[in-house]
Amino acid sequence: MEADTGPHDSGADFRSGARACLPALPTLFFIFAGFGVAAREGGVPAEAALLMTALVYAAPAQYAMLDAAGAGASALSAVMVGVTANLRFFVMSLTLRGMFRHAPRRATARWAHFVAATPFLLTFFRSRREKPGDLFAFYRGVSVVMIPPIFLGTVAGWWAGGGLPPALAFGGTLFMPVYFSLLIASDFKGGREAAAVIAGFLLTPPLETLAPGWGLLGAGLVTGGALAVRER
Amino acid sequence: MSGAQWAAVAVGAGLGTYLLRITPFLLGPGVEMPRRIRDFLVYTSLAIAAGIVAKALTAPGEAFSIADTAIRLAALGMALGLFAWRRNILLSLMTAVVMAAAIKAAIG
């Protein structure tokens, strides 16, 4: 998790991040296309749906806000639902901060908006290499490549209104989880890290069912806390 | 809600989320994280990574379906098996996705 302080080519690290993100792009497109469809069905104008994607930049929270509004929540309640669904970003930023220690604070503040699951995980796994290079450049490469499919997906979903072939949409949802699983497998170190992976995998679905929007963060914090305490 | 209210929701949630995202980066550069905190973040990150996978495999923004979850788990198993054999991420990924889409198209 430490940033590499040795000489490195930031341009090459930026391009490396962009390349690493390519397999995740179809899933991002389909996830945000799904949001576009749901937004249209929920009576959200196209411009407002795009604004949500641009400013919130997190499909799960955007879905949660649509659900809340559909259930009759006020605008303020919908905002609260969206923000609490995004609490995991605090932990992600805290982790990334340790990797970007040598990056200018103003620059990290500008790019903080793009902290999300995909750039976080790809940068996290990159940081575990023997020579991770400039992780901030890598993160920016990942983040830039993600932007077009996210906005195109939102627009396409809103306009198509659910007209995608079901098998294609189904296959599209698998790119990201399978890709992340392969990254975990390629970086597998066993021991307590294996326990963290297994616990996160098993705990998250039931906790999400019990407390929608909190399960992922809850499973992560409980697992991380328990294993860090045992580390002593 | 009207279009203007939805825009206000987007701005409010966007601002709140940005505060969550930016706050850790505003900590001073001299603030070092103790070893135990770093361990905690590594384990938490791995658990969140696995949790994202589990969420996406069980019900990615839709109602839970045993049949769909079984197809997704089978695709994941195939990808991991193929990766263990060939150590090729792209081949494993594409094979799993195509297989899942084909099964879904076949059974509807």
A contacts of B23 (beta carbons < 8 Å): 90, 93
Number of domains in chain A: 1
> What residue has token string 């976080």?
A120
To test the contact with chain A by mutation, choose from B20, B48, B73, B86 the residue with the greatest count of A C-beta atoms within 10 A, namely B48
Residue B71 CB contacts under 8 Å (≥ 6 apart), including other chains: A170, B100, B103, B104
A contacts of B8 (beta carbons < 8 Å): 75
Count of C-beta atoms within a 10 Å radius of residue B102:
13
Interface size, chain A vs chain B, as Cβ–Cβ contacts under 8 Å: 296
Residue A199 lies in a domain: no
Tell me how far apart the alpha carbons of residues A143 and A61 are, in angstroms, rounded to a whole number: 18
- Residue A86 predicted with pLDDT over 50: yes
Residue A179 lies in a domain: yes
Residue A23 lies in a domain: yes
| Inter-chain residue contact A201 with B53, CB threshold 8 Å | yes
**Would you give the distance in Å from CA A85 to the centre of its chain?**
12
- Its sign, for the CA torsion A74, A78, A83, A87, is positive
Q: Report ipTM for this prediction.
A: 0.82
| Inter-chain residue contact A48 with B14, CB threshold 8 Å | no
Q: What is the pLDDT of residues A91-145, one digit of tens each?
A: 889 889 888 988 888 899 899 999 998 999 999 999 988 888 899 999 999 999 9
pTM for this model (two decimals): 0.77
Structural domain boundaries enclosing A137: 10-187
Tell me how far apart the alpha carbons of residues B27 and A105 are, in angstroms, rounded to a whole number: 9
Confidence of residue B10 (pLDDT cuts 50, 70, 90): very high
Residue A107 lies in a domain: yes
Predicted pLDDT of residue A4: 46
Residue A216 lies in a domain: no
Predicted pLDDT of residue A190: 74
Predicted pLDDT of residue B70: 92
Residue A197 lies in a domain: no
DSSP secondary structure code for residue A131 in this structure: S
To test the contact with chain A by mutation, choose from B11, B25, B76 the residue with the greatest count of A C-beta atoms within 10 A, namely B25
Q: What is the pLDDT of residues B45-93, one digit of tens each?
A: 888 888 888 988 886 556 778 888 899 999 999 999 999 999 888 889 8
Residue A204 lies in a domain: no
Residue A2 lies in a domain: no
Predicted pLDDT of residue A124: 92
Tell me how far apart the alpha carbons of residues A146 and A22 are, in angstroms, rounded to a whole number: 8
| Inter-chain residue contact B93 with A113, CB threshold 8 Å | no
A contacts of B43 (beta carbons < 8 Å): 192-193, 196, 223-224, 227-228
Q: What is the pLDDT of residues B14-39, one digit of tens each?
A: 999 999 999 988 876 656 778 888 78
